[in-house]
Structure 1
Amino acid sequence: MPSLDLQFSLPGVTYLDGEGGTPPPAHPGELFVAQENWLAVAAVERFLEANPPGTLALFGPPGTGKTHLLDLLEREFQRRYPEALILRQNAAEFGHAVAEALAKRRRRAFRKRWQTADLVILDDLQFLSEYPAGQEECVVMLQAAERGSPLVAVASRVRPWHIMGLDRRIGEILVGGLTAPLALPGVSVRKALFRAAFGRHGFLLTEAATDLLARELPLSPRQILGLAQEAAHSLAERHVDYAVAQSLVRKHNRKALVSMEQIARATARYFHIPLKRLRGPGREREEVLARDVAMYLSQKLARRTLKEIGRYFGGRDHTTVGHGCRKIEELAATDLTVREALLMIEEMLGIA
């Protein structure tokens, strides 16, 4: 991606373009914007201007900075509009609060609270799918946002209009407002992050070590900070060359291994089908997709052979397993539904 000459007016934001660009902030709590995510900050800036669209939706994998951007939005909105009332909740908390209000016959009082707010912020919107009454209340709130009040900002791990089990009206309203994806940093930005994170602990990384870590470990900024912290406790030598970097990669990958059983259960839960059907002979479209996803993740995350995977998933031939894995790998490059299913299942497994 070409370097962009971006100027953000929001305080505390540093634009990071990787090689040769601005170094990462010295403090891990500061917000930097990788070149992949400048659009999200631009959307937040637009949301803070006069007469913004009524809704803002940020979406991306864990660790890409969604919550940091919501923090920034909340702080800056309060700074610019000191008298403003801001309500902020995790979507699961919102859903639970709606259910509780219904049980106590206090829905009108609950609704009046957000109706008097100037800005409502809901994080982790994907968890609202478990609360039908909360979804209905969210629809009413978003319809009010379309009319101008309150403003509503949400964040989710996948696009709101692709969240399984979420009322389609929520996605339809949000897609008409400001929307911005966030992505994990690319290789060039990861290089800068590895150098900065390890440098905070007194490490000096060789160029070859930096290249290897950035290429082999596509981690979030939070995970890179964690890896540097672990290295500070386990490595006496503060010089990290290619060989030491290789050992760090192997150690991280060993720790990331999960079992086929864990993968199968998480996949079955995500696709809302019984584990027995996932492992069985069924040929319904949803069963086949879920099974292929589980087999692909078993090869990727559990590092099992095609023969082992086939044996676990109903005694299938290794060629059938290989075909299913290749199909998912190809679909992941073009099909948002498949790509986001992989992301969510990895998140359920604690990998993402």
Structure 2
Amino acid sequence: MHADGDESVDALWTRCRATLRERVGTGSFQSWISPLRLASIEGGVATLTVPTAFLGSYVARNFQEAILAVLDEAGAPATRLIFTPQGRAIPQAATALAEAPAPAAHPEPAAAEETMRLDPRLTFDRFVVGKSNELAYAAARRIAEGNAVGFNPLFLHGGVGLGKTHLMQAIAHEMRARNPQARVLYLSAEQFMIRFVTALRDRKMMDFKQVFRAVDVLMVDDIQFIAGKDSTQEEFFHTFNALVDQGKQIVLTADRSPVEIAALEERVTSRLQSGLVVQVNPADYELRLGVLQSKVAVARAADPSLRIAEGVLDFLAARVTSNLRVLEGALTRLCAQASLVGREITLDLARDCLGDVLRASDRKVSVEEIQRKVAEHYHIRLADLIGPKRLRSFARPRQVAMYLAKTMTSRSLPDIGRRFGGRDHTTIIHGVRKIEELMGIDSQIADDLDLLRRALES
């Protein structure tokens, strides 16, 4: 190697590690840089040993430029990095699935490999925490640390684009970084069902059971997908029980809470509620702005010439409120547009480039749409919701729809009354006041309103 004087490789790497800790932050350093060891620098190639090929692949994608810059500053310039897990060299483009083989006594679930395709960007370091997701983040972090948590399963629920999948993948990344031999299986409920059906067809149920019951952590996304699929529910129930009995951790996500998932067996619903159920709420303005700032920091690291005028991020955070995925996509499109034309990102450019996104965010909810959503939520006909029948099963949903029409639209009370079968405006006032009264004493009404609002705003 070529370094200052006769400095050893270990001494050189100790100096580099200290600089890297300052530049990438303590969290990223502990998770990704600390496990690395510099083996040699020859011919402009720096060889680093890593505990797993996955970790090497992730570092190559996210920290290669930082490591090369620090080596150059330390007097040992290199043009590329090679990562060697346990004596085997692997290419920088190695798949995120590659990893060192586990001991024979604890075989990695072989058939599960294809379901573990993790996005290297979805880590805890890139998760922005706010009031709407701080409990979910804290619970996920506790599980990822590998210590006893006192709740099983962790059930995260909320609308699309709020970070549930990000947290699940962050758990997998963190656990594999801390313990490369950990058997962590992440898949969607649809994948679980497909593999179950395939095992039945091919008469390989024993193999299926062995794979899913030999893991240390099982994470299933969108568990609401198995509702109404009786055989899949039953197998999931038995898998759930087997893992809990062994003290293994389970993490699940859904678009609604367990009790709101229709066509789910009571025993399954009961099991899903037996641990910690956490709702991930829509992001508030501060969190949306924090996500944008975090994404801009990443974009500037890749393109230092990126220029964003003052007020643009505030504008986007205030206008794009549907979900974080749409918000991030809007910023990505804006950065690409600015890069292609070589312009600063200004408010005018944002308005021109994101016209369709901004128009969608400004979409006004109609009384008719509220009526359809409420009828669908309570499983009644639209005609009965609007009609004259005074049965409680129709009257209460009707009052909920009246309340939402009053609070979510700019329609006048007489106009709303006309859209509810020609009712007088005093009837609308009575319905609104009744719901306002019930909201404080009936948690089910409060939950229904929250769910309906989110569905109408998304």
The answer to whether TM tops 0.5 is yes
2:363 matches 1:256: yes
2:425 matches 1:318: yes
Aligned to 1:45: 141
Aligned to 1:34: 129
Q: Which TM-score applies when normalising by structure 1?
A: 0.70
- For the 8 Å contact 2:322–2:361, the answer to whether it is kept is no
Aligned to 2:399: 292
Aligned to 2:309: 204
Aligned to 1:23: none
| 1:140-179 equivalent positions in 2, closer than 5 A | 140-148=238-246, 150-179=248-277
Q: 2:215 is matched with which residue: 83, 93, 117?
A: 117
Segment of structure 1 superposing worse, 322-331 or 192-201:
192-201
Q: 2:325 is matched with which residue: 222, 246, 251?
A: 222
Give % identity. Answer: 30
Post-superposition CA distance 1:101-144 (Å, at most 9, x none): 66787766544442233322111223333333333333222222
Q: CA deviation at 1:226?
A: 4.3
- For the 8 Å contact 1:115–1:150, the answer to whether it is kept is no
Q: For residues 295 and 440 of structure 2, what CA distance do their matches in structure 1 show?
A: 30
Segment of structure 1 superposing worse, 88-97 or 148-157:
88-97
Post-superposition CA distance 1:270-328 (Å, at most 9, x none): 22222222222333334233323333444455544333333233322223223334544
- For the 8 Å contact 2:158–2:281, the answer to whether it is kept is yes
Larger Rg belongs to: 2
- For the 8 Å contact 2:385–2:394, the answer to whether it is kept is yes
Q: CA deviation at 1:96?
A: 5.8
- Flag the 1:51–1:259 CA change in 2: closer, same or farther, 3 A: same
Q: Which TM-score applies when normalising by structure 2?
A: 0.56
Q: CA deviation at 1:99?
A: 6.1
Structure with more relative contact order (C-alpha pairs < 8 Å, separation 6 or more): 1
Q: Which runs of 5+ in 2 are unaligned?
A: 1-25, 33-119, 300-305
Q: For residues 390 and 223 of structure 2, what CA distance do their matches in structure 1 show?
A: 32
Q: CA deviation at 1:43?
A: 1.5
Q: 1:68 is matched with which residue: 137, 155, 166?
A: 166
How many pairs align?
A: 327
Matched position secondary structure for 1:33: coil
Post-superposition CA distance 1:56-103 (Å, at most 9, x none): 222233332111000111222333443444433323443565567667
Q: For residues 105 and 304 of structure 1, what CA distance do their matches in structure 2 show?
A: 60
Q: Which runs of 5+ in 1 are unaligned?
A: 1-6, 13-26
Q: 2:233 is matched with which residue: 132, 135, 138?
A: 135
Q: CA deviation at 1:191?
A: 4.2
Q: 1:273 is matched with which residue: 372, 377, 380?
A: 380
**Superposition RMSD in Å:** 4.4
Matched position secondary structure for 1:257: coil
What is the one-letter code of the residue matched to 1:224?
Answer: L
Q: For residues 345 and 437 of structure 2, what CA distance do their matches in structure 1 show?
A: 41
- Flag the 1:99–1:253 CA change in 2: closer, same or farther, 3 A: same
- Flag the 1:332–1:256 CA change in 2: closer, same or farther, 3 A: farther
- Flag the 1:284–1:99 CA change in 2: closer, same or farther, 3 A: farther
